[in-house]
Structure 1
Amino acid sequence: MMIEPSAAIQAGGILHLLWAGFHLRFPRMFRWQSALAGLDPVNQGVMRVMNLCLVFQFLACGSLSLLHADALAATPLGRAVCAGLASFWLLRLGLQFTHFRALALRSLVLDVFFAATCAAYALPVLLAA
């Protein structure tokens, strides 16, 4: 059974919405109130702003994927967007191994989700090739 490219993109959209929700939990999950207290105000702000920008980006990618999956799968521009998203998640997966304890259970679970998000966007590109 072969998955349809637009269905893969919609799955990627759902994963992006889940990533947004996950990142919204970062301040509490990582105890930023105390963990970031040792940083100067600029670096504290950088952490918070980068995280909020990622949340926005994940919401935008998720919405785009859910509302325009057919166009993303069927057009050269859409497949280029998919290739960019697949590349982002492949990079994120690779960075997991250089910046975190990649074999810890938590990391392995994240690895699966990084790979799944990458695959959701790589599939339409590979099927069109």
Structure 2
Amino acid sequence: MGLASYEELHDWSVTHPEQFANKLAAALTLCFQDPPLRGCDTSAGVENARWYSQARLNIVESCFQADDDALAVIAGDEQGQLKYLTYAQLKALTARVANGLAELGLQPGDRVAICMPMTVDAVAAFLG
């Protein structure tokens, strides 16, 4: 794209929202189960923009595209201790959460609310 600064990227994203949305989805390697009709629809005004309309996104599949040995999460606690998880470790933790929810009778499409600090466990709960 040849943009040299954040300001140039911002200006380009505002003046080319459709192209920006499409490049963003490609850069993030988003995995759509149903592809969007449009990347960004601003026909009702930018204040009512619709991003990836009619799309269904598989966030878990999108998040687990890296090699199993690659670093997935770095988490710090209040004491400043860091915890490092690879994608393989995060996948295993996420599978434990998903299996636990299934054992409780939850099915795909059911909604679950959580209230917890942003920790590795919260990431696994979100993805599970």
TM-score (norm 1): 0.24
The structure in which a higher percent of residues are strand is 2
Bigger radius of gyration among the two: 2
The structure in which a higher percent of residues are helix is 1
TM-score (norm 2): 0.24
Which one scores higher on RCO, CA 8 angstroms, separation ≥ 6? 1
